[in-house]
A and B are shown apart, each in its own frame.
Chain A
Amino acid sequence: MTNNVVIRIRDVKKYFGATKALDGVDLDICSNEVHAIVGSNGAGKSTLMKTLAGEYVPDDGQFYYLDEEITGFSPLEIQQKGIQVVHQVLNIVESMSILENILLANPPIKKGILDWKTGRKKVRETLDFIGIDFDLGKSAGSLSISEQQFVILARALIHNPKILVLDEPTSRIGLEETRKLFQVINKLKQNGTTTIYISHRMEEIYQICDKISVFRDGRCIDTRETEQLPKDKLVTMMLGKKLDVFFPKNEMEVGNEVLRIDKLKYRDIVDDVSFSVRRGEIVSIVGAVGAGKTEIINMIFGILKSDGGEIFIDNKPINKNHSSYKAIKMELALIPENRALQGMVEKYPVKYNLTAINLKGISKFNLINSEKEEVLAKDLNTKLSVIPNDINYLISQLSGGNQQKVVIGKWLADSYKVYLLDEVTAGVDIGAKSEIYELLGELAIKGAGIVLATGDIEEAIGLSDKIIILYKGKVVKEVDPKNTSKDEILSYIMGSEKSA
Chain B
Amino acid sequence: MKYYLTSWEVKKVHKRNFDKFIRNYGLPLGLLALVLIIQIIFNKVPLFSLFNINNILLETVSIALTALGLSYIMMSGEGDLSFAGMFSLLTVVFATFANNTNSFIISYIIVSVIAVSVNLFIALLVTRLNFSSFIISIAIMFMANGVEKAFHQQTTLIQNPSILSFSRIEFGLPLVVWLMFIIYLVSYFVINKTKYGFSLRIVGENKNAAIEAGINSNRIKISAYIIAGLLIALASAVESTRVGAIYEQGKYYMLPVFAACFLGSSMFVPGRINIIGTLVGALFLGVLEKFMNMISVESYIVSIVQGIVLIVSVGLVAFKNRAKIVQVKL
Q: From the candidates A55, A87, A104, A114, name the one contacting B194 in the complex (CB within 8 A).
A: A114
Binding site of A, secondary structure by majority: helix, strand, loop or mixed? loop
Contact with B along A139-159 (1 / 0, CB 8 A): 100000000000000000000
Q: Which residues of B contact A422 (CB under 8 A)?
A: none
Does B162 lie at the interface of the complex (its beta carbon under 8 Å from any beta carbon of A)?
Answer: no
Does A95 lie at the interface of the complex (its beta carbon under 8 Å from any beta carbon of B)?
Answer: yes
Q: Which residues of A contact B208 (CB under 8 A)?
A: 89, 91
Contact B209 A104 (CB under 8 A): yes
- Known A91-B206, A91-B209, A93-B206; judge A100-B214 contact (CB<8 A): no
In the bound assembly, the distance between CA atoms of A112 and B198 in angstroms comes to 12
Contact A114 B195 (CB under 8 A): yes
B198 to chain A, nearest CB (A): 5
In the bound assembly, the distance between CA atoms of A114 and B269 in angstroms comes to 20
A123 to chain B, nearest CB (A): 15
Q: Which residues of A contact B213 (CB under 8 A)?
A: 75, 104-105
A75 to chain B, nearest CB (A): 5
- Known A104-B202, A109-B195, A114-B198; judge A93-B214 contact (CB<8 A): no
Q: Which residues of A contact B212 (CB under 8 A)?
A: 75, 87, 91, 104-105
Does A107 lie at the interface of the complex (its beta carbon under 8 Å from any beta carbon of B)?
Answer: yes
Count of inter-chain pairs, beta carbons less than 8 A: 50
B6 to chain A, nearest CB (A): 9
**Of A89, A100, A114, which is in contact with the most chain B CB atoms at under 10 Å from its CB?**
A114
In the bound assembly, the distance between CA atoms of A470 and B209 in angstroms comes to 33
- Using a CB-CB cutoff of 8 Å, which residues 87-120 of chain B contact chain A? none
Q: From the candidates B198, B205, B269, name the one contacting A107 in the complex (CB within 8 A).
A: B198
A89 to B, closest residue via Cβ:
B208
Does B128 lie at the interface of the complex (its beta carbon under 8 Å from any beta carbon of A)?
Answer: no
Contact B214 A113 (CB under 8 A): no
Q: Which residues of B contact A268 (CB under 8 A)?
A: 8-9
Number of A interface residues, CB 8 Å? 23
Q: Which residues of B contact A92 (CB under 8 A)?
A: 206, 209
Contact with A along B1-26 (1 / 0, CB 8 A): 00000001100000000000000000
- Using a CB-CB cutoff of 8 Å, which residues 139-188 of chain B contact chain A? none
Does B44 lie at the interface of the complex (its beta carbon under 8 Å from any beta carbon of A)?
Answer: no
- Using a CB-CB cutoff of 8 Å, which residues 67-125 of chain A contact chain B? 74-76, 79, 87, 89, 91-96, 100, 104-105, 107, 109, 112-114
A348 to chain B, nearest CB (A): 17
Q: Which residues of A contact B214 (CB under 8 A)?
A: 74-76, 79, 105
A156 to B, closest residue via Cβ:
B212
9 A-B pairs with the lowest CB-CB distances in the bound complex, closest first: A76-B214, A91-B209, A105-B213, A104-B213, A91-B208, A75-B214, A93-B206, A113-B193, A93-B205
Contacts A91-B212, A94-B206 known; 15 new A-B pairs at CB < 8 A: A87-B212, A92-B206, A93-B201, A93-B202, A93-B205, A95-B269, A96-B202, A96-B205, A107-B198, A112-B194, A113-B193, A114-B194, A114-B195, A114-B198, A268-B9
8 contacts between A and B (CB under 8 A): A74-B214, A75-B211, A75-B213, A91-B206, A95-B269, A104-B202, A107-B198, A114-B195
